[in-house]
Homo-oligomer: A and B are copies of this chain.
Amino acid sequence: MIESSAPEKTPLVKEIPSKAKDLSDWYQAVCYKAELVSLAPVRGCVVLRPYGFGLWERLQAELDARFKATGHENAYFPLLIPESLLTREADHVEGFAPEVAWVTQGGNEKLSERLAIRPTSEVIVGVMYAEWVQSYRDLPILINQWANVMRWEKRTRPFLRTLEFLWQEGHTAHATETEAAEEVSRMLEVYREVAEDVVAVPVLTGEKSASERFAGAAHTYSLEALMPDGRALQAATSHELGQNFSKAYDIKFAAEDQTIQYAWTTSWGMSWRMLGALIMVHGDDRGLRIPPKMAPTEAVIVPIVRAGSDDVAAAARKLHADLRAAGLRVKIDERDLRPGNKFADWEMRGVPLRIEFGAKDLEGGVATLVRRDKEKGEAGGKLAIPLGEVAARIPELLVEIQANMLAQAREFLQAHTIRETDSDAFFRHCRDRDGMIDIAWCGRPECEAIVKARTSATTRNTRPLEAPAVCVACGEAATVRAYFAQSY
């Protein structure tokens, strides 16, 4: 946890410590050693290095294709927001003002009004939508933005919480509340699909409680993932903003019946935080494990070349060319290092498949494929595949690896999702970080505050109650089911 006010140098990591022993140490060691990020010379900010950016590009591509398939277009709104605009939606500014960075000087000119660096863009989007929307014919507006945003946080950690971060923020405006609600569920489902089917991180979806809601929203829905230390991580949110922002920023339209109405708006976002979940959920003591769909490099060829084995090098290069021609994201590692060091290096970087290729393999007409998702010595972890079949087998293996990683993560989540009815046990689970503690809950902020004060746990999200029950935390009548957990 980086808490100092001065920027630090990126620590030099020699060995990756045990994940089970100290998740936080392990996590930061992996982030730095795998060259995902470096600490920047600005307090609380990181540099996303090429390998980390490769992960982000994969996530971007998967999200962006789905946003477009659901009718959205990209746009770009300004970084700076005048203070007088930010303060128009009262709840919103109350929620964000304490963590806003302010520009007060431009060149040699002292500004007459402070400009906020966007912590999120509902405000500036609201002002523009008011200009663009006149008639019901102008609706819906379905826009997404890929952007950097800034929140002046005290304690930071790569990917999970930094002053500046990269994300996407969708902003839509609709003629009716129903359409807005549909949009919000549609995008929550897009996020769930990407989290589970692409990043292989299983999530629990539901509605945020009033106290955990986005500042200014009528309803906030979230994806919650469970980290190995029993803490929850909010992986994405989707907000029904009701008419709060359209009233504050004057997004009005002439309806078909000629009445003037306020639009119903939504917003939804996923950030590079999702990469933090990927690292923590899948990594092990050897380093990163990247699900194939997220891997900048799906497979790496390590030729085991001894003096005079030019044939091996040539055959390995041919294999590399063939696999690339087959559309696979493959690298060949011809560095002047010992094979064992290369194996460890690519394991640490989490590449899903390693292709070992030496004189024996060449003789036998095979390549040796090693799966990163399996333990050393585990059945099916090491396969000798005839050279002619490698290009066809890899995609199949990648599918298996993807599925296996999701299954492993799902097993952990299920084993640590605890449906509890006993009050004492509930508080103990919360305190001990036993996972997602699922209870019938009254829904009252006062009750949530007591749980938080006693255990540090909060509601992650809620869903409808199946049958009448009493609140496991306080004994009042329950109104929802809720997952409680300590969180990142």
Query: Which residues of B sit under 8 angstroms from A105, Cβ to Cβ?
Result: 101-102, 104, 114
A105 to chain B, nearest CB (A): 4
Whole-angstrom CA separation of A40 from B124 in the bound complex: 8
Taking a contact as CB atoms under 8 Å apart, the answer to whether A101 and B103 are in contact is: yes
Pick out which of these stretches binds chain B: A23-31, A41-49, A231-239, A417-425: A41-49
Interface residues of A in 96-115 (CB under 8 A from B): 98-109, 114-115
Taking a contact as CB atoms under 8 Å apart, the answer to whether A75 and B50 are in contact is: yes
Whole-angstrom CA separation of A48 from B143 in the bound complex: 11
Query: Which residues of B sit under 8 angstroms from A185, Cβ to Cβ?
Result: none
Q: Jot down 26 A-B pairs with beta carbons below 8 A, ordered by A.
A: A7-B82, A9-B131, A38-B131, A38-B132, A42-B80, A42-B81, A42-B82, A42-B115, A45-B78, A47-B76, A47-B78, A47-B124, A48-B76, A50-B74, A53-B75, A54-B74, A56-B76, A57-B74, A79-B148, A80-B101, A101-B103, A101-B107, A102-B104, A103-B117, A106-B163, A109-B152
Q: Which residue of B lies closest to A50 (CB)?
A: B73
Q: Which residue of B lies closest to A12 (CB)?
A: B131
Give the residue of B45, B49, B76, B101 whose beta carbon is less than 8 angstroms from that of A75: B49
Counted per complex, copies of this chain come to 2
A313 to chain B, nearest CB (A): 20
Check if A128 is an interface residue, CB within 8 A of chain B: yes
Taking a contact as CB atoms under 8 Å apart, the answer to whether B40 and A78 are in contact is: yes
Check if A150 is an interface residue, CB within 8 A of chain B: yes
Taking a contact as CB atoms under 8 Å apart, the answer to whether A103 and B102 are in contact is: yes
Query: Which residues of B sit under 8 angstroms from A85, Cβ to Cβ?
Result: 41
Q: Which residue of B lies closest to A98 (CB)?
A: B107
Taking a contact as CB atoms under 8 Å apart, the answer to whether A79 and B9 are in contact is: no
Check if A10 is an interface residue, CB within 8 A of chain B: yes
Query: Which residues of B sit under 8 angstroms from A47, Cβ to Cβ?
Result: 75-78, 124, 128
Taking a contact as CB atoms under 8 Å apart, the answer to whether A127 and B41 are in contact is: yes
Q: Which residue of B lies closest to A149 (CB)?
A: B79
Give the residue of B41, B46, B101 whose beta carbon is less than 8 angstroms from that of A106: B101
Interface residue tally for chain A (C-beta within 8 Å)? 57
Query: Which residues of B sit under 8 angstroms from A127, Cβ to Cβ?
Result: 41
Given the contacts A75-B47, A107-B99, A128 and B40 also touching, CB distance less than 8 Å = yes
Chain B CB within 10 A, most for which of A46, A53, A99, A147 = A53
Query: Which residues of B sit under 8 angstroms from A41, Cβ to Cβ?
Result: 82, 85, 124, 127-128
Whole-angstrom CA separation of A48 from B164 in the bound complex: 22
A307 to chain B, nearest CB (A): 21
Query: Which residues of B sit under 8 angstroms from A128, Cβ to Cβ?
Result: 38, 40-41, 47
Interface string of A119-158 (1 = CB under 8 A from B): 0000010011001100000000001000110101000000
Taking a contact as CB atoms under 8 Å apart, the answer to whether A150 and B100 are in contact is: no
Interface residues of A in 47-83 (CB under 8 A from B): 47-50, 52-54, 56-57, 73-82
Whole-angstrom CA separation of A104 from B103 in the bound complex: 6
Check if A215 is an interface residue, CB within 8 A of chain B: no
Query: Which residues of B sit under 8 angstroms from A49, Cβ to Cβ?
Result: 75
Give the residue of B81, B108, B164 whose beta carbon is less than 8 angstroms from that of A79: B164
Taking a contact as CB atoms under 8 Å apart, the answer to whether B40 and A77 are in contact is: yes
A481 to chain B, nearest CB (A): 36
New A-B pairs, 10, CB < 8 Å, besides A98-B107, A100-B106: A38-B128, A40-B77, A41-B85, A41-B124, A50-B74, A53-B73, A76-B166, A78-B164, A101-B103, A102-B103
Whole-angstrom CA separation of A82 from B6 in the bound complex: 11
Query: Which residues of B sit under 8 angstroms from A147, Cβ to Cβ?
Result: 148
Q: Which residue of B lies closest to A9 (CB)?
A: B131
Q: Which residue of B lies closest to A115 (CB)?
A: B42
